[in-house]
Amino acid sequence: MNHPDFASFAAALPSEGKLVLCTHRHPDPDGLGALVGVQQLLLEKFDIQSDLVLEGRIRRAENVAMRRMLRIEALPKGAVDPAVYCGAIVVDAQPAFSHTHPPGGIPILGVIDHHDASEKSEDDESNAFRWVDSNFGATSTMIWSLMRAFEIEPNERTATALFCGIRYDTNDLARDSTELDETAYFSLQRLANRAWIGAIDHPPLPRDYFRQMARAIDSCEVSGIVLLTLLGEVDSPETVAEVADWFVRLEGQQWSLAGGACDGRYQVSLRTDLPGADAYPALRYILGREGSCGGHGRMAGGQIPVGEMSVGEIESLISRRARELFGVTDETREPLSSTRS
Ligand SMILES: [Mn+2]
């Protein structure tokens, strides 16, 4: 785990002017937590105002609850006037990622992320603060370290946000977490608001949620160590991640791949509970040059644009490559709902 020269973070900041903070499309708790943390740090340590800009939908009930409980206010992406901001900071994502689009016309001053990256960023040559380290279980841990380096204690709201980020990305430290993630997790837990965490953990679920899960159960096919759940069209890309997370819990150790089309993109999430397995290279292979992806440890996500290929063609491609990669044949396919334990 490398520690950056934290002074270079301060050096990358402007002496005056406002910043915009952003993360990947369809932000998850780690992205949201990191944004809230950076915003408090900038204001309290550097007296710099910032606005958050969020792209894509937040529909997953836990993420909606997190935004509501913590009053995470953000501008829609189209509403950012570049004349108002003198720089942007990207967290839990990198500008070169296909699911990350910092608002145009604003220089990138910082990138803080824990994802593996094959694509090189345009900001590599500049003086931007760049801290990318895939050893961290969560970007929220990196932001906690940054706050600690500048002696800013997370307030109750920030602590709750960063805590949710770490627990979501590391499955409460059970997955891909390091000693520093653990230290951050317990330190933040003491400062966080437990009632808010409870409300974020168990939000009320709309009927659509149960309909969607019923459809996922019907669609899921098991072939040996691979669970494939290809859903056709979905209401929200978060559905895909949620389904992949859910099915990886099937007893036994396996890979869970879920996919669904939304807003002109076919979204794919891959999870595994095989110890030491690396999801990113697996998804890289499955999406091939047709798609793009990112990942960390046992989780990866990506997409293929719909257009040149139809949703059906994309699903056959993904299904074929996944079977190829994991060495399972077509004959072993059976619906999850008829699988005997
Ligand atoms: Mn993350």
Tens of pLDDT, residues 12-36: 999 999 999 999 988 999 999 999 9
Dist. CA 136 → ligand 1 center (Å): 9
Dist. CA 201 → ligand 1 center (Å): 18
The reported pLDDT for the residue numbered 116 is 79
Residues within 5 A (CB) of ion ligand 1: 30, 92, 139, 169
Dist. CA 324 → ligand 1 center (Å): 29
Residues 6+ apart with CB under 8 A from 324: none
Percent of the chain with pLDDT over 90: 74
Domain spans, the chain: 7-201, 208-338
Q: What is the largest CA-CA distance in the chain?
A: 64
Tens of pLDDT, residues 61-116: 999 999 999 999 999 878 899 999 999 999 999 988 878 888 889 999 999 999 87
Dist. CA 335 → ligand 1 center (Å): 32
E strand map for 133-254 = 221-223, 226-233
Instruction: Say how far apart CA 328 and CA 225 lie, in whole Å.
Output: 8
Q: Which pLDDT band holds residue 339 (cuts at 50, 70, 90)? A: low
Dist. CA 299 → ligand 1 center (Å): 10
Residue pair 80/74 in contact (Cβ under 8 Å)? The answer is no
- Tell me the pTM: 0.82
Dist. CA 329 → ligand 1 center (Å): 33
Least confident range of 166-170, 173-177, 239-243, 318-322: 173-177
Dist. CA 214 → ligand 1 center (Å): 28
Residue 322 has pLDDT above 70, yes or no: yes
Least confident range of 114-118, 308-312, 316-320: 114-118
CATH topology for the 7-201 domain: inorganic pyrophosphatase (n-terminal core) (3.90.1640)
Instruction: Say how far apart CA 1 and CA 239 lie, in whole Å.
Output: 32
Domain range 208-338, CATH class: alpha beta
